[in-house]
Structure 1
Amino acid sequence: MEKLHIIGGGMAGSEAAWQAAEAGVPVVLHEMRPSVGTFAHRTGDFAEMVCSNSFRSDDDERNAVGLLHWEMQAAGGLIMEMARRHRLPAGGALAVDRDAFSASVTERLRAHPMISFDPGEIRALPEDGHWIIATGPLTSGALAEAIRAETGADSLAFFDAIAPIVYAESVDMSVAWRQSRYDKGETEEEQKAYLNCPMTREQYEAFIDALLAAEKTEFHEGETAGYFDGCLPIEVMAERGRETLRFGPMKPVGLTNEHDPETKAYAVVQLRRDNALGTLYNIVGFQTKMKYGAQTAVFKMIPGLENASFARLGGIHRNTFINSPTLLDDRMRLKSRPNIRFAGQITGVEGYVESSAMGLLAGRMAAAEIKGQDLPPPPADTAMGALITHITGGAEAKTFQPMNVNFGLFPPIDAKGGRRGRKDRYKAYTDRAKDAFTEWLG
């Protein structure tokens, strides 16, 4: 049987390799790390989480990304299996111990008898054979240039920012308190999964002033600062209006300060546990392009973080993606070179879950083709089907930008003569999707 070659061992590449191998197709996984590093990666492990440690909402009845969790699990997804194995308390979100998670994905892939490994950088597009390019937002310069030369695309890129991580022992718990927003979660541990740092109005205003005045990372000549809206640097949000952060990642609703229950905070900074030991916490929604010195000064203005020690400061990196609506067919193949498929963030989906899901589809489709079969994409009323429909023709090519899964990508639900409330409507979306995805799997 012909082999399937996969370039990139991130979320999408790892899932694609697992799905194809489980289908009985031999896989060769090419990963340039650690011999060739990137700005954001720290290890050579597969599926390394470089930004948040959260797979977002796990509600599979009324949330689109939670539905995507369900579909991946139903399809035997490795990423979702390992995420649940290394889950951390995070209210209604699926957060994981990032190091244990990627180590487990690596162990499972290396133990699979149908997967072999060819380390090193792939610098050109392969001429023949079956290939999946899943190099993600940090595609190497040489390969990115080869893709541009083939597709004729201009520099299709935006910028992605990373949030800082704090040592838990350095947080002043006489100021901060443990609570998930609205006490969400089934156990006490989940209901107290976040550390909360309250701000008065005066503290918030001073913080915004410092944030706006802080020294920022400058872009190289010719680069434009296009950001994905779901991962905006906090200073960019602050530039849109002084109250933007207070209605975004610093919103004070659903929280009661256990040190002063009668006083309502004007704004609240939340930190989410980043590892199983509970020694590391990331500052939720605090992606930033501030320079390192400015970060420590500004973030130590947050009550409870005056003496914070940082395990990692935030940063910004280039995030490359292709114009999939014009370049890919509905089997995720490059129209000009059908032996090459693309998967993951490079296709224009955003987020760990979405990237893994597109890897899952690419791996299954490639395996089917190698075995002489044709696997159509899932129906558009499933989460995976909605995503692949969007990136392979549903989106407007001229304004194409990376997208998270959301119910706006799904065919509308028939109200059947009456108006549905939002919760009922979302439940109808997920019920329909689960039936359709189960049938597609069969």
Structure 2
Amino acid sequence: MKDHLDQEVTLEGWVRHHRKSGKIQFIVIRDGSGFCQCVMVKAEVDEALWEEARKLTTESSFRVSGVVQQNPRNQKYELLVKNLEIIHLSEPFPITPKEHGTEFLMDRRHLWFRSKRQWAVLRIRHTLVRAIRDFFDDRGFILTDSPILTPTAAEGSSTLFEVDYFDEKAFLSQSGQLYLEPAAAAFGKVYCFGPTFRAEKSKTRRHLTEFWMVEPEIAFAHLEDIMVLGEEFMKHLVQRVLENCTFELEELERDTSKLEAALEPFIRMTYTEAVEKLKGLGSDINWGEDFGGDDETMLTKEYDQPIIVHRFPKEFKAFYMEPDPEDDRVVLGMDVLAPEGYGEVIGGGERASSIDFLNDQIAKHELDPEPYQWYLDVRRYGSFPHAGFGMGLERAVAWICKLPHVRETIPYPRMLYRLKP
């Protein structure tokens, strides 16, 4: 609008709000890119046009022409209406300014994300998707798509969705990582970015059964390399949103100083140090136990910056993690925990490069070795140190937007008891 001040323009969109005040009508139009107030003055249009505009209902689609002007009181740009054409008069819109319950809104998710708040969240999600691709593409990573239908589990069979695949069983992918490791041997630096599925019967605010994950993998990289990359990556995402989503963050009333703090150096601590810290904060966690959501929340509320926790006990980490040569109780893994109580956003580390170790792990975890033989080929033919991580897009969106639940971070959320719309 600012590029067309005092010029006549035409907009097409939907009625966000319509207020009639004596001899003036105020119509807020949304066209997908933003919102604009259209001002119709009765004395400046003919009677037929005035009456036509009065028919407009919330979410009616229409075309409007007028002159762009700047409101002297709030400095916002608006449209002085010269002409208006109704394209479709909407039926009474079910979502109104009054309070609605979560189930009511989720049942109407296809309509709910027309609202300003949901519009802002999903535009920030789009910005993050572009930033993710730009980050890896600009650093020489090769996009290598991993399959969604897989014959094996990546991180344990208890959270797999099983599907019929002709005359055999298949599973919806939990992670693209196993397929990235062979790709790293071909291209050096690779990543995949797509939907993943976890059949966890969880109803927490952090879980979806279908979500998007980006996973980079780097040949000849170690734990330190991947911790540095993870920090650079998250800072890049935050910076991109701060630069490009000012209006959306304002709509969400997001305290941007909290995001700016994430541009400072991240906090680092070992799992052992984190457990001691948590005990001092009142947690009953013991060494060897995985963090619960409450533990992550407790820990992250102590710092303004994200926390990188590394060197976790091998008992609760994936079978393919490289053991720490200085302490065989732990593996060379790391998690990045977002501040403000949001917890794990990134998880990853160094992968085991020894075929003997991996065979022992497969047996220890009581996995069928046959489906993993192709994966073990990476260790048979030119084994090499390598490392990578995975970041769940929706958890990143939840933190950056400061949302109470991940269900608002994806257009059509899939949860334990939600499969539609």
Give me the TM-score of the superposition, normalised by structure 2.
0.25
Using structure 1 for the length normalisation, give the TM-score. Answer: 0.24
Greater strand proportion? 2
